[in-house]
Amino acid sequence: QSVLTQPPSVPGAPGQRVTISCTGSSSNIGAGYDVHWYQQRPGTAPKLLMYGNNNRPSGVPDRFSGSKSGTSASLAITGLQAEDEADYYCQSYDSSLRGSVFGGGTKLTVL
Amino acid sequence: EVQLVQSGAEVKKPGESLKISCKGSGYSFTSNWIGWVRQMPGKGLEWMGIIYPADSDTRYSPSFQGQVIISTDKSISTAYLQWSSLKASDTAIYYCVRPSTVIRGIILHFEYWGQGTLVTVSS
């Protein structure tokens, strides 16, 4: 059971917009700690996709955007492409655990 | 260019000890936190702990405290993750990670990742 909750899977058609949610609590996201997102393609290491809630590292397309409100955060992907098919993880800091926490991951399937 | 290069895959028996490594390059190894993330087969990511090489200040996830030891050798810019007695449940890919920064103990995002080390524990 992960501290941050994500939907196990999200489907989407090419060109569509999808969102992936990440729900936490008052000791992590709700306490104001930033949320970060990672993309993991099969057989590869995770890659930083979004940091500080809504900041894209260099090289990440602007089709990806992030937001945070209350105890939740979301990752939105517009203009879905086949190459976006991957697992996506959210991450934050938890003051009760005094450490970093991840969501359980969401498998994005491009139909 | 920042790089984290990890040691190769390991196959061990239950009860054996193991130490895997991660060599950092392209940045000041001593002045940046470095840590480890576990991914069990078909599962998600779990933060294990981090260490500050300059003074060996180490923080562990409660789930991994007492189960593993994180250390560094500053002279060769290398971080280690070690077990004294492996269990089958330690079978996983272990990623070396470098946080962007740690502010007053608060870990921000993991900016850099190693390629991963697969550890298989089986009798």
Conformation bin of residue A46: beta by default, left when phi > 0, alpha when psi is -120 to 50: beta
Q: Which residues on chain A are in Cβ contact (under 8 Å) with B95?
A: 45-46
Per-residue pLDDT tens over the stretch A37-83: 999 999 999 999 999 999 999 999 999 999 999 999 999 999 999 99
Q: What is the DSSP string of A20-86?
A: EEEE--TTTGGGT---EEEEE-TTS--EEEEBTTTBPPTT--TTEEEEEETTEEEEEE-S--GGG-E
Give the pLDDT score at B108.
Answer: 87
Which chain B residue has the Cα nearest residue A42?
B42
Per-residue pLDDT tens over the stretch A1-35: 899 999 999 999 999 999 999 999 999 999 999 99
Å between A75 CA and nearest CA of chain B: 15
Which chain A residue has the Cα nearest residue B117?
A45
Give the pLDDT score at A83.
Answer: 96
CB within 8 Å of B50: residues ≥ 6 apart: B33, B34, B35, B36, B58, B59, B70, B99, B102, B107
8 Å CB contact of B95 and A89: no
Give the pLDDT score at B104.
Answer: 81
| pLDDT in single tens digits along all 123 residues of chain B | 999 999 999 999 999 999 999 999 999 999 999 999 999 999 999 999 999 999 999 999 999 999 999 999 999 999 999 999 999 999 999 999 999 888 888 888 999 999 999 999 999
